[in-house]
């Protein structure tokens, strides 16, 4: 029996392939949004409190997404789906609100105008995040189903049994099944 693989080497890890780029972009946005909000809140909070608090919230969501995508465990992936979903709803809600009531947003947030100040990356990033997580979930389910099916097939063939009932010791159950005996 082979030892279980380390999470970083699993093919469904968020730390492999495009998942690395996704985590890097989330980390960059976590840093940018948090730093921007921190400076704005510390220096000129009264100028645009709604915008600055929304930027701080966006920073917190990006931090949560970065951490959970990096961890990559099944529980972390569920939290990542939640954080990407909150991010998408936030971008759509704040984007619409900032266009409908520009007076509330004298300074832009990361999510203002659907993230236009950041090249619309805040709008597409959660979509890519959710698609990547969906792909990982499908892969994990397929792998689990394959392993379970293989284990079931091994049990059906008598895998791990030294000898089948009524057969000579040392003769594997696979041979008994192959020979057609029961």
One digit per residue, the tens of pLDDT, for the chain of length 182 reads: 555 554 444 555 666 778 899 999 999 999 999 999 999 999 999 999 999 999 999 999 999 999 999 998 899 999 999 999 999 999 999 999 999 999 988 998 999 999 999 999 999 999 999 999 998 888 777 776 665 555 555 555 555 555 455 555 555 444 444 455 55
The angle subtended at Cα 52 by Cα 58 and Cα 83, nearest 5°, is 10
Give the model's pLDDT for residue 154: 58
- Counting every residue, how long is the chain? 182
For position 152, what pLDDT does the model report?
A: 57
User: Given this model, what pLDDT does residue 140 score?
Assistant: 72
pLDDT at 156: 54
Residue 64: predicted pLDDT: 97
User: Which pTM value belongs to this model?
Assistant: 0.71
Distance separating alpha carbons of residues 156 and 143, to the nearest angstrom? 20
Q: What does each C-alpha distance from 4 to 16, 36, 77, 153 come to in angstroms?
A: 18, 42, 19, 20
Residues 90, 112: contact at Cβ < 8 Å?
no
Q: What is the pLDDT of residue 29?
A: 95
CA separation, residue 156 to residues 33, 37, 147, 160 (Å): 56, 60, 14, 11
pLDDT at 159: 55
C-alpha 144: how far from its chain's center?
Answer: 18
CB 65 within 8 A of CB 84: yes
Q: Where are the domains of the chain?
A: 13-144
């Amino acid at each position: 029996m082979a030892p279980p693989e380390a999470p970083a080497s699993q093919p469904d890890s968020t730390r492999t392939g495009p998942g690395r780029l996704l985590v890097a972009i989330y980390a960059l946005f976590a840093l940018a949004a948090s730093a921007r909000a921190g400076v704005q809140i510390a220096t000129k909070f009264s100028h645009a409190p709604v915008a600055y608090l929304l930027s701080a919230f966006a920073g917190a969501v990006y931090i949560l997404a970065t951490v959970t995508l990096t961890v990559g465990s099944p529980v972390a992936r569920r939290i990542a789906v939640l954080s990407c979903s909150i991010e998408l709803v936030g971008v759509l809600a704040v984007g619409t609100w900032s266009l409908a009531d520009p007076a509330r947003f004298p300074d832009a947030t990361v999510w203002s105008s659907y993230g236009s100040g950041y090249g619309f990356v805040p709008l597409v990033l959660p979509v890519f995040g959710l698609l990547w997580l969906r792909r990982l979930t499908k892969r994990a389910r397929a792998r689990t189903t394959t392993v379970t099916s293989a284990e079931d097939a091994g049990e059906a063939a008598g895998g791990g049994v030294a000898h089948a009932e009524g057969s000579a010791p040392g003769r594997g159950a696979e041979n008994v099944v192959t020979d057609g005996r029961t």
